[in-house]
Amino acid sequence: MTTPQFIISEIGFFKKPNNSIIMKVSKSQGLLYMYDLLCKNKEFTREEVMDKLEIPPLTFHRYVQELKAFLANFINCRALYYSRTEEKYKIIEI
């Protein structure tokens, strides 16, 4: 028996083109994904994260602000840095 599409979307799930059902990415999962990239010494662009997490620009901006606050509150020796020339975010030692 198939579950109607509107029921799936109401509970936070959606169908992929191959009809597999996956859960939408929550805010905490998105923040952990971004932090994990940074911890692995990887840089990321706004577009890369927005595409991967399927979030709009305003949500991305809020996630960046959350990460900055987390680093300032709990990891005092690091900060989130945005390189305007490379258009990438990365962690720097302060």
Structural domain count, the chain: 1
Average pLDDT of the chain, as a whole number:
85
pLDDT at 39: 92
**What digits encode the pLDDT tens for the residues 44-89?**
999 999 999 999 999 999 999 999 999 999 998 999 999 999 999 9
Query: How confident is the model at residue 6, as a pLDDT?
Result: 42
> Does a structural domain hold residue 59?
yes
- Cα Rg of the chain, angstroms: 16
Domain that holds residue 36: 25-93
At 24, is the pLDDT very low, low, confident or very high (cuts 50, 70, 90)? confident
Name the pLDDT band for 41 (thresholds 50, 70, 90): confident
Q: What is the CATH number of the domain that holds 87?
A: 1.10.10.10
In a domain, 18, yes or no: no
- 47 versus 19: the higher-pLDDT residue is 47
Amino acid at 53: L
